[in-house]
Amino acid sequence: MRLAVVAATGGVGRHLLDQALVAGHSVTALVRTPANLHVSVPAVAVDLAAPDTALLREALVGQDAVLSCLGPRGTGEYGIVEPGTRALTEAMHDAGCRRIVAVSGLGVSTVPTPSRPHPPRREPGAGVWNQYVATPLGRRMLGDHFVDVAMMEHVLRTSGLDWTTVRPPYLSDGPATGRYRTALGHGVPWGVRLSRADTAHLMLRVLDDAAMIGQAVGAAD
C-alpha cells in the first residue's frame, strides 16, 4: 500500500516507518523536519500546527491511507492534535484518500465531545485500575491534551472517512512483540502500558481490516 505517515520522526512514528517499510509498503513521511528522518524515504515538510492546506492535499494525492502519530512535543503544543487532524481529514477528502489510522489514548472515551456529549464517567470494561486510577490520573496530569485527543476522535467520527483509532495506555520503550491484548471501544483490563513499537505494529495490523473501520481499539501488554 501507499502510506502517508504523519509525525514519522516521533516515538511511535519511527517504529511505524521501519515496520511499514519491512512489510513492503511504499511510504511518504509527513514531518516538520525531513532532515530528522532516520531512514531515506520520500518526505514532505508539513507543520500541522500551521498547515499549508494546498501542500498537504498534494502530499496525499495517490495515497491509499494515512497513519497519524500526531502529538505535541511538549506542553506548549497542547492543542495541536484536533486542528491538525481536521486539516488532515479535509486534505484527505480533497485528495480522494479515505483510510486513516490514528494514535489516540486510554480513557479519552470519558471526555464529553459534541458527537458524544454524555460519555460514561468510567470506561466500561477497562478494569478497576484503569477506571479509578489510570484514567483519572491521566486526565489530571495531561489536562488540555487529554481533551485535545478526545476532540481528535470527534473529528474522525464526523469526518465521513474510514477511520480507526488506537488507544494505548502509558507508552513504553521496547521491541515489537505482537503479544498484546486488544479490546474494542475501551481499554484492556489491568492494561497499564504498551510499547511504542507494538503501538505501531497494531496500527499496521488494523490498517486493512474492514472490521476495524469506525472502531477505537484499546491495547496493552
Distance set, CA 163 to CA 39, 45, 148, 191 (Å): 27, 24, 17, 24
Residues 76-113 have pLDDT tens digits of 778 899 999 999 999 999 999 999 999 999 888 888 89
Residue scoring higher pLDDT (147 or 125): 147
pLDDT value at residue 107: 84
pLDDT, tens digit, 9 for 90 and up, residues 209-218 = 999 999 999 9
| pTM of full prediction above 0.85 | yes
Mean pLDDT over the full length of the chain: 92
Residue 118 grid coordinates: 454524555
Q: How many Cα neighbours within 13 Å face the side chain of 176? A: 19
Classified by CATH at the fold level, domain 2-220 comes out as Rossmann fold (3.40.50)
Q: Phi and psi at residue 21, in whole multiples of 5°?
A: -65, -40
Paired with 183 in beta bridges are 218
Please say whether the beta carbons of 6 and 43 come within 8 A.
Answer: no
Domain map of the chain by residue range?
2-220
- Predicted pLDDT of residue 108: 87
Share of the chain above pLDDT 70, in %: 95
Using DSSP, state whether 162 is helix, strand or coil: strand
Q: Find all residues with CB under 8 Å of 29, minimum gap 6, and list them.
A: 4, 5, 8, 9, 17, 37, 41, 42, 43, 44
Q: Are strands 65-68 and 2-6 parallel, antiparallel or unpaired?
A: parallel
pLDDT value for 143: 65
Amino acid (1-letter code) at residue 169: P
The three cell numbers locating residue 105: 489514548
For residue 27, what are the β-bridge partners?
3
**pLDDT for residue 121:** 81
3-state DSSP assignment of residue 16: helix
pLDDT digits (tens, 9 = 90+) for 170-179: 899 999 999 9
Q: What DSSP state is assigned to residue 49?
A: T
Q: Which residue has the cell 483510510?
A: 99
How confident is the model over 112-132, as pLDDT tens digits? 899 888 888 887 777 777 777
Burial of 139 by CB count in 10 Å (0-12 exposed, 13-18 middle, 19+ buried)? Answer: middle
